[in-house]
Amino acid sequence: MSARHVHLRAGGVSLLLELDGDRLPVVLHWGTDLGELGDDGAALAGALAEQPFGNPVDGPMPVAVLPETSAGWPGTPGVGGHRGGVAAGTRFRVTGADVSGRAAPWRHGLVVEAVDDAARLGLRLEVEQADSGLVRLRARLTSVPANGPVGAPEGAPGAGPDGTAGDVPFDLAEVLLTLPVPARATELLDFTGHQLRERAPQRAPFGHGTHLRAAHRGRPGFDAAFLLAAGEAGFGDRRGQVWALHAATSGNPRLLAERSYHGRSVLGGGELLEPGEVRLAAGESYTSPWVYGTHGTGLDEASGRVHAWLRARPQHPRSPRPVVVNTWEAVTFDHDLERLTALADAAARVGAERFVLDDGWFGARRDDSAGLGDWVVSPDVWPKGLWPLVEHVRSLGMDFGLWVEPEMVNPDSDLARAHPDWLLTGADGAPLGPARHQQVLDLTHPDAFEHVLGRLDALLVEYPVASLKWDHNRELVGAVVPADGRAAAHRQNAALQRLLDVLRHRHRALEVESCASGGGRVDLEVLQRTERVWASDSTDAHERQDIQRWTSLLVPYELLGAHVSSPVAPTSGRALPLDFRAATALFGHFGIEWDLTGASAADQARVAQWVAYYKRVRGLLHSGTVVHGEHADPAYRLHGVVAPDRDDALFAWVCTATSPTWSPGPVRLPGLDPRRTYRVRPDGPVATADGVASRWGASLPWLDDGGVTLPGHLLADAGLAMPVLDPDRSLLLRVSEVDRRPPVL
């Protein structure tokens, strides 16, 4: 097979791959669109060939999308494992390659079939590109019998310790898919955090060695890397070339950045597999999670490619995202019909559209120590079932949602007492260590799976439940499947996907929100089966500014749950103004987490104003391009949404701290069309000059005049003087096109 070049290009991004002989494909370029290459592809490949000096092998050292030590790659291999102690490295031989169109939104793709005769492995490698320019990769490995139909000679070594036994499983240790980044990507960005402070950014130089981020929790966790980005020095929201990867698994993700003196730099991703977790018997397969790669000038452009792909999916929610009232912070476990109907009345008065009954409605669940797993409406608390509340909520014009945590059980529950064999254990067979009074239901056990599916299905048949808030409050550290003693995370996650798939197939209108002690399970895999993620249990709007900003790198606002909390945030004790709390929740899927029955009439009226405003602008918020203004003063930030046709935009000017300078100076408004003319004016419930005037003096002239009209290029390049705000205050700006006549430049 002679060298063949495959050029995938869409949305301003090129992915140029080379298949040379029978080796796996190598990425020659991933980044800025190269245009139509024609016959120049082969010439470019020759021009990009590097001097083979200092390599472990003579000649070139290609780094395939699934790197192989047999090609001389000295870094982390693409496939790790062994069959009975041998066949520890791979040498895949390509047997077929197909370049063809895909169903929208994945219109461009390459599928490569390959075999490793010695290791007795078949490989199917998929590379796809969306219209937005987003790329993704996935590998499926299949263990082939000794006489399997993949072209391996009978009795080839690697089948077992003696080289002949064909029934020895292949112990798979890792599958790592990689994309190269250029030498000018000298800085790394990924994320860490903890509960109530998820997705905190951290930066590091991209030097020689391996920067590895991996989870052992059975879910990504609060401190998940989330997205691993490499970029030019000082890259930001709107500047610097950026290349970023996300490993889409709700189990144990693994991301790495690797660079050595050989002149190769890669980003890689996949699933962390514990020892012995995946053992492939003859005919069995393992499919890696999709690894998504995005590129752009600045984080905004790279992020926008993910948002555009998500919004192009057939299952993406199209209806307006309803205003949610969740009962947790209002009543916690104190479920009382009179109290909850009063809360529903208050919710309806402010304009809520969905009422979600949180934890405490089932079994003996009067606190977090008992009843979890007994998915039967408590006859003590609800002697007539949930119907009195459900009918009242629906009579007010709201739909009804319910909290569940199907993957977990309390030891003090009817389920755990009846079926202790349905629980995951530690490696010694003993129960997992205590954590939140919970143990983990073994969804890989067929009877346990059918039980929880049946209970949930029965609830959804009996009651008109529009949405489930699906929680996951215990990590799976050290958990094994009792049936075989092997690590549980991979198979437990696969069972969760199947449970959601079956349930949603039976109840097509059902929406699901992913919650895991807040934001512990936010990834592109869970978003294929949910319509919302709960970004954090922190409803403190000050903390939420950062949590929502970084969560929105992958998650567009319509999928990002954001609620207005009570005047004093229960998660932090911080007192914040109502307008600031509401303006923060506005940039997401807006909701309320507050006992409105105890709110003053003035506060309830103000909440109603914000709800009405959200309904007016949610079409823009949930379809537009998310942008961030880069401002030198760390006390201030500017973020917003620009309509797809750029005729409309909404920005938030936010202060979160006292500033070392008196005036923040001019602030540029990004994302607008430079050739159009726009009117910029204060908007929302806080839309008057008095509402944004500093306590230290008068407002700005353009605010006093109710706005200003300027060409887009001046707003983007020169900017606007912004008002001095007190900490934890914000101003909304609506930007509307005046006409389409090009301004004089």
Model confidence pLDDT, tens digit, residues 639-685: 999 999 999 999 999 999 999 988 898 999 999 999 999 999 999 99
Give the dihedral of Cα atoms 528, 531, 537, 543; nearest 10 deg. 90
| pLDDT(48) > 50 | yes
Tens-place pLDDT, residues 158-208: 344 444 445 799 999 999 999 999 999 999 999 999 999 999 999 999 999
Mean local confidence (pLDDT), 241-256: 98
DSSP 643-694: -TTSSEEEEEEEE-S--SSS---EE--TT--TTSEEEEEEESSS-SHHHH--
Quick check: 678 and 672 in contact, CB under 8 A? yes
Residue 166 has a pLDDT of 55
Neighbours of 461 (CB within 10 A): 11
Could you tell me how many residues make up the chain?
A: 745
Question: What pLDDT, on the 0 to 100 scale, is given for residue 743?
Answer: 44
For residue 740, what pLDDT is reported? Answer: 53
The yes-or-no verdict on residue 2 having pLDDT over 70 is no
For residue 427, what pLDDT is reported?
A: 96
Average pLDDT, the chain: 93
Sequential DSSP letters for 167-197 = TPPEEEEEEEEEEE--TT--EEEEEEEETTE
Q: Does residue 155 surpass a pLDDT of 70?
A: no
C-beta contacts of 421-428 below 8 A and 24+ residues apart: 421/445, 421/482, 422/447, 422/448, 422/451, 423/482, 424/476, 424/479, 424/480, 424/481, 424/482, 424/488, 424/492, 425/479, 425/480, 425/482, 426/478, 426/479, 426/480, 427/478, 427/480, 427/485
Q: How does pLDDT run across 487-533, given as a tens digit for each residue?
A: 999 999 999 999 999 999 999 999 999 999 999 999 999 999 999 99
Percent over 70 (pLDDT), the chain? 94
- The model's pLDDT over 295-336, given as tens digits with 9 standing for 90+, comes to 999 999 999 999 999 999 999 999 999 999 999 999 999 999
**524 closest CA partner among 176, 292, 256:** 292
Tell whether the model's pLDDT for residue 557 goes beyond 70.
yes
Q: Which domains does the chain have, with CATH numbers?
A: 4-312 (2.70.98.60), 324-407+449-476+511-619 (3.20.20.70), 626-739 (2.60.40.1180)
pTM: 0.95
Supply the residues annotated as catalytic. Answer: 471, 537
Q: What is the pLDDT of residue 642?
A: 98
